[in-house]
Structure 1
Amino acid sequence: MDLDMNGGNKRVFQRLGGASSKDSNQKVCFHWRAGRCNRYPCPFLHRESPPPAPFPGSSSSTNNKRVADDDSGFAGSSHRRGPGSGNNTWGRFGGNRTVTKTEKLCKFWADGNCPYGDKCKYLHCWSQGDSFSLLTQLDGHQKVVTGIALPSGSDKLYTASKDETLRIWDCASGQCTGVLNPGGEVGCMISEGPWLFVGMPNLVKIFDAYLYIQAWNIQTNVDLSLTGPVGQVYSLVVGTDLLFAGTQDGSILVWRYNTATNCFDPAASLTGHTLAIVSLYVGANRLYSGSIDNSIKVWSLDNLQCVQTLTEHTSVVMSLICWDQFLLSCSLDNTVKIWAATQGGNLEVTYTHKEEYGVLALCGVHDAQAKPVLLCSCNDNSLHLYDLPSFTERGKILAKQEIRSIQIGPGGIFFTGDGTGQVKVWKWSTQPTAIHP
Structure 2
Amino acid sequence: MDIEGGNNRRVFNRLGNNNHHNNSNNYQNQNRYNSNQNTKQKVCHYWREGRCNRTPCQFLHGELPGLPSTSSNGGVSKRSYNIGAGVGGSDGGFSTRKNPNFNNTWGRNSSNNSNNGVPPKKLEKICNHWVQGNCGYGDRCKYLHTWNVGDSFSLLTTLEGHKQVVTGIALPTGKDKLYTGSKDGDVRIWDCATGQCVSVVPVGGEVGCMISEGPWIFTGLPNLVKAWNIDTVTEMSLSGPVGQVYTLVVGNDLLFAGTQDGSILAWKFNPATNCFEPAASLAGHTRPVVTMFVGANRLYSGSMDHSVRVWNLETLQCIQTLTDHTDVVMSVLCWDQFLLSASLDQTVKVWAATPTGNLEVTYTHKEEHGLLTLCGMYDSESKPIILCSSNDNTVRLYDLPSFVERGKIFSKQEIRAIQGGPSGLFFTGDGNGQVRVWSWSTEAKPAV
TM-score (norm 2): 0.70
Q: CA RMSD for the aligned pairs?
A: 1.5
Partner of residue 34, structure 1: none
Partner of residue 294, structure 2: 282
- Structure 2 SS opposite 1:158: strand
Quick one: which amino acid aligns to residue 201 of structure 2? L
CA contact (8 A) 2:154 2:439 kept: yes
CA contact (8 A) 2:221 2:245 kept: yes
Say which of 200, 206, 230 aligns to 2:221: 200
Distance 1:209 1:182 in 2: 16
Partner of residue 195, structure 2: 174
Distance 2:432 2:380 in 1: 32
Say which of 183, 199, 212 aligns to 1:162: 183
CA contact (8 A) 1:102 1:121 kept: no
Partner of residue 410, structure 1: 422
- Note the C-alpha offset of 1:116: 1.9
Say which of 359, 370, 373 aligns to 1:358: 370
Task: Please say if 1:107 is aligned against 2:128.
Answer: yes
1:396-422 Cα distance to aligned partner (Å, 9 max, x none): 100001110000011000000001001
Quick one: which amino acid aligns to residue 153 of structure 1? G
- Note the C-alpha offset of 1:122: 2.9
Identity %: 70
1:356-396 Cα distance to aligned partner (Å, 9 max, x none): 00010000012344321101111101101100000011111
Quick one: which amino acid aligns to residue 261 of structure 1? T
Distance 2:228 2:311 in 1: 27
Partner of residue 393, structure 2: 381
Distance 1:304 1:426 in 2: 37
Quick one: which amino acid aligns to residue 416 of structure 2? R
Aligned counterparts, 1:319-334, within 5 A = 319-334=331-346
Distance 1:111 1:137 in 2: 17
Distance 1:135 1:409 in 2: 14
Partner of residue 87, structure 1: none
CA contact (8 A) 1:251 1:276 kept: yes
Quick one: which amino acid aligns to residue 426 of structure 2? F
1:37-75 Cα distance to aligned partner (Å, 9 max, x none): xxxxxxxxxxxxxxxxxxxxxxxxxxxxxxxxxxxxxxx
Distance 1:270 1:235 in 2: 14
Quick one: which amino acid aligns to residue 398 of structure 1? F
1:205-232 Cα distance to aligned partner (Å, 9 max, x none): 11122445xxxxxxxxx21001111100
CA contact (8 A) 2:380 2:424 kept: no
TM-score (norm 1): 0.72
Aligned counterparts, 1:79-90, within 5 A = none
Partner of residue 132, structure 1: 153
- Structure 2 SS opposite 1:386: strand
- Structure 2 SS opposite 1:373: strand
Quick one: which amino acid aligns to residue 325 of structure 2? H
Distance 1:145 1:410 in 2: 21
Distance 2:123 2:405 in 1: 17
Stretches of structure 1 lacking an aligned partner (at least 5 in a row): 1-100, 213-221, 432-437
Task: Please say if 1:223 is aligned against 2:235.
Answer: yes
- Note the C-alpha offset of 1:106: 2.5
CA contact (8 A) 2:289 2:302 kept: yes
- Note the C-alpha offset of 1:110: 2.5
Say which of 299, 312, 316 aligns to 2:311: 299
Distance 1:158 1:300 in 2: 31
Query: Mean alpha-carbon deviation: is it higher for 251-260 or for 367-376?
Result: 367-376
Partner of residue 252, structure 1: 264
Higher relative contact order (CA 8 A, sep 6+): 2
- Note the C-alpha offset of 1:262: 1.4
- Note the C-alpha offset of 1:102: 9.0
Distance 2:381 2:157 in 1: 26
Quick one: which amino acid aligns to residue 321 of structure 2? T
1:17-42 Cα distance to aligned partner (Å, 9 max, x none): xxxxxxxxxxxxxxxxxxxxxxxxxx
Stretches of structure 2 lacking an aligned partner (at least 5 in a row): 1-121, 444-448
Task: Please say if 1:147 is aligned against 2:168.
Answer: yes
Distance 1:343 1:240 in 2: 25
CA contact (8 A) 2:258 2:265 kept: yes
- Structure 1 SS opposite 2:243: coil
Distance 1:125 1:323 in 2: 31
Partner of residue 138, structure 2: 117
1:80-124 Cα distance to aligned partner (Å, 9 max, x none): xxxxxxxxxxxxxxxxxxxxx994333332343422212233321
- Structure 1 SS opposite 2:339: strand
Change (3 A) 1:268 1:131: same
Quick one: which amino acid aligns to residue 160 of structure 1? G
Task: Please say if 1:427 is aligned against 2:439.
Answer: yes
Distance 1:308 1:165 in 2: 37
